[in-house]
Chain A
């Protein structure tokens, strides 16, 4: 069974940094592209970033480009999101998600909450 478990969320001051992790199990992690998707309180889903399985290509929403960095450690079956220069509008539940081979998201983690406040 596929499991995606996010961690690293919490309270951070505006301008601060945070690193999210997503531990994957139940599948061959290095074969799958992975995504981060967020959801602000009471709002809809928003694409944040994605990383390919093969060549490590990365993709970002314009709202986070230059501030967030996605990475993966295939030896640890773990996805990361390094977030910097955090703003109030970055406050959200951050979901880790798996992209099925050649298509789209098929499994989601339970999410981790990031609160940006002084």
Chain B
């Protein structure tokens, strides 16, 4: 099974900051990596697929990069609505797996 490790598990940031979250796969997954955003009490929202492609309607302040085992999610100019928990997800092989999440909190 492929293990997904996210770091950090939480971070504090201010409005306007640039934030980077990393995700590492225990084995190569090519570009089969997605990112999701989840706010408290809500369902996850899909942000990025294929490591760097934005889902329809997702603003360009979100960007993803990486391939193989190392990936990053970057959020530029953090806004109040961006404070949430972010999860990476590999869909290269079953059983599918998620990272443990990164909670982005307001400083």
Contact = CB atoms under 8 A, between A and B. Distances in A.
Interface of A: 35, 37, 44-47, 50, 59-62, 95, 100, 103-111
Q: In which size bucket is the chain B interface? A: 20 to 34
Contacts of A100: 49
Contacts of A110: 43
Contacts, number: 57
Given A62-B95, A103-B91, A106-B49, A45 B43 contact: no
B97 interface: yes
B15 interface: no
Contacts of A109: 43
A47 B95 contact: yes
At the interface, is chain B mostly helix, strand, loop or mixed?
A: loop
Q: Is the interface of A mostly helix, strand, loop or mixed?
A: strand
Contacts of B91: 103-105
Given A45-B98, A61-B95, A62-B1, A106 B46 contact: yes
Interface of B: 1, 32, 34, 36, 38, 43-46, 49-50, 55, 87, 89, 91, 94-101
B95 A45 contact: no
A50 B43 contact: no
A8 B100 CA distance: 27
Q: Which 3 A-B pairs have the closest CB atoms?
A: A47-B96, A104-B91, A108-B43
